[in-house]
Amino acid sequence: MAGEAVNLPKVGVSRRELSDLEMLSVGALSPLTGFQGEAEYRSILESMHLPNGIPWTIPVTLSLTDDDVKRIGGSDAVALVSDDGEDALAVLEIEEIFKRDREREAESVFLTTDLDHAGVKALHEAGDYCLAGRVRVLRLPRHDDFNAYRLTPAETRAEFRARGWRRVVGFQTRNPIHRAHEYIQKCALEIVDGLLVHPLMGATKGDDVPADVRMRCYEALFEGYYPKDRAMISIFPAAMRYAGPKEAIWHAICRKNYGCTHFIVGRDHAGVGDYYGTYDAQKIFDEFEPEELGITPLMFEHSFWCNRCEGMGSPKTCPHGAEDRVSLSGTRVREMLRNGERPPLEFSRPEVADVLIEAMRENG
């Protein structure tokens, strides 16, 4: 089957684009069927919708350099290859090549043009042109890890049906899960049938916790504390954009494709640094009609253990002050783990802490 791609000009895809290609091919980016053209690109940047009125907040584009554009010439199709130079992953039927509007894209998607922002930086490193067209996938990118957890949208939907879950809440994460996030997941689970913990496993910033360590944390947490007939883990193959509010909407739409009816939006969802207000990623849902997204956001505040409540809570449910609440900064937690010290039980499950302590030891 890949034979047809042999004579086509080759275009290399970056790690982020490879994630997008995988997402396109499994239907995680439905209704998209290929990398987007200029009319859709402009429409998303101006209105957060596709030209046909469907909500969409982050363009899914394939970058080309000037040299690529010259090399492709007047071809009708190209073969997409990964950086490792193996055989073709997909054939893209060229609809158009257009010039990227970097400033406008940065302002619209990331709400900043600051090059220190990880997403803006990646945008500036990408080629000046975008190659648009439908993709026909020849083979999915190969993964040598966590294959048991790589369910496609069709597979998660089938699994939900098999488990009899009609209402399912999705949880996006790129971090180990401590008590605060366990609490909001379980609060959400109280009102639906099932929980999908859906960790993002595409490219992240270098200083995020590595994927294999995170996966061991999720497994330890599920083993000790989650009901197996009500909760499951599957991998979300997307790469992080760090686009805050725009990415929260995009994440929700993708989870609808995986069969979720509800989606958890916590504080500073998909944020980085202090580019976005704590609850901006929740407020943006108000800019859409409730039915147009097709998935219900569940908003949560910062949560914590309170010694006087003797339980988990948030500013919405706990009337006590900071002196009664167990709260630790990310920096403090990392420091404790590096010293081989478990954070308090009220902050982190010991099994999760042990995975992180061991990982820090292995990685020096």
The span of 71-79, 248-256, 284-292, 301-309 binding Zn ion (CB under 5 A) equals: 301-309
**Catalytic residue from among 16, 174, 216, 267:** 174
| Residue 263 and residue 300 in contact, taking contact as beta carbons nearer than 8 Å | no
Residue with the shortest CB distance to Zn ion:
306
| Residue 1 and residue 138 in contact, taking contact as beta carbons nearer than 8 Å | yes
The token pair that represents 186 in the structure block: 């379980």
Q: Closest approach of Cβ 331 to Zn ion, in Å?
A: 25
Neighbours of 67 (CB within 10 A): 9
How far is the C-alpha of 96 from the C-alpha of 130, rounded, in Å?
8
Q: Please, what sign has the CA dihedral across residues 344, 349, 355, 360?
A: negative
When the beta carbons of 75 and 307 are compared against Zn ion, the nearer one is 307
The span of 24-32, 62-70, 125-133, 318-326 binding Zn ion (CB under 5 A) equals: 318-326
| Residue 31 and residue 117 in contact, taking contact as beta carbons nearer than 8 Å | no
Classify 268 in phi/psi space as left (phi over 0), alpha (psi -120 to 50) or beta: left
Is 175 among the residues known to form the active site?
yes
CA distances from 234 to 24, 79, 189, 258, 275 (A): 17, 30, 16, 10, 29
When the beta carbons of 124 and 320 are compared against Zn ion, the nearer one is 320
Applying CB under 5 A, which of residues 23, 318, 337, 357 lies at the interface with Zn ion? Answer: 318
Applying CB under 5 A, which of residues 306, 337, 352, 357 lies at the interface with Zn ion? Answer: 306
Q: Show the binding pattern over residues 4-43: x = contacts Zn ion (CB under 5 A), - = does not.
A: ----------------------------------------
How far is the C-alpha of 60 from the C-alpha of 340, rounded, in Å?
42
How far is the C-alpha of 96 from the C-alpha of 91, rounded, in Å?
15
Q: Closest approach of Cβ 113 to Zn ion, in Å?
A: 42
How far is the C-alpha of 338 from the C-alpha of 110, rounded, in Å?
33
Q: What is the residue whose two structure tokens read 């895809």?
A: 13
309 binds Zn ion (CB under 5 A): yes
Report how many residues bind Zn ion under the rule CB under 5 A.
Answer: 5
**Which runs of consecutive H residues, i.e. helices, occur in 58-114?**
66-72, 102-105
The span of 11-19, 76-84, 203-211, 310-318 binding Zn ion (CB under 5 A) equals: 310-318
| Residue 201 and residue 236 in contact, taking contact as beta carbons nearer than 8 Å | yes
Q: Closest approach of Cβ 302 to Zn ion, in Å?
A: 13
Which of these, 272, 326, 329, lies nearest to 122 by C-alpha position?
Answer: 272
Is 174 among the residues known to form the active site?
yes
When the beta carbons of 312 and 333 are compared against Zn ion, the nearer one is 312
When the beta carbons of 179 and 256 are compared against Zn ion, the nearer one is 179
**Catalytic residue from among 175, 230, 334, 342:** 175
When the beta carbons of 192 and 306 are compared against Zn ion, the nearer one is 306
When the beta carbons of 40 and 182 are compared against Zn ion, the nearer one is 182
Applying CB under 5 A, which of residues 99, 139, 320, 338 lies at the interface with Zn ion? Answer: 320
Interacting residues with Zn ion (CB under 5 A): 306, 308-309, 318, 320
Residues designated catalytic = 174-175
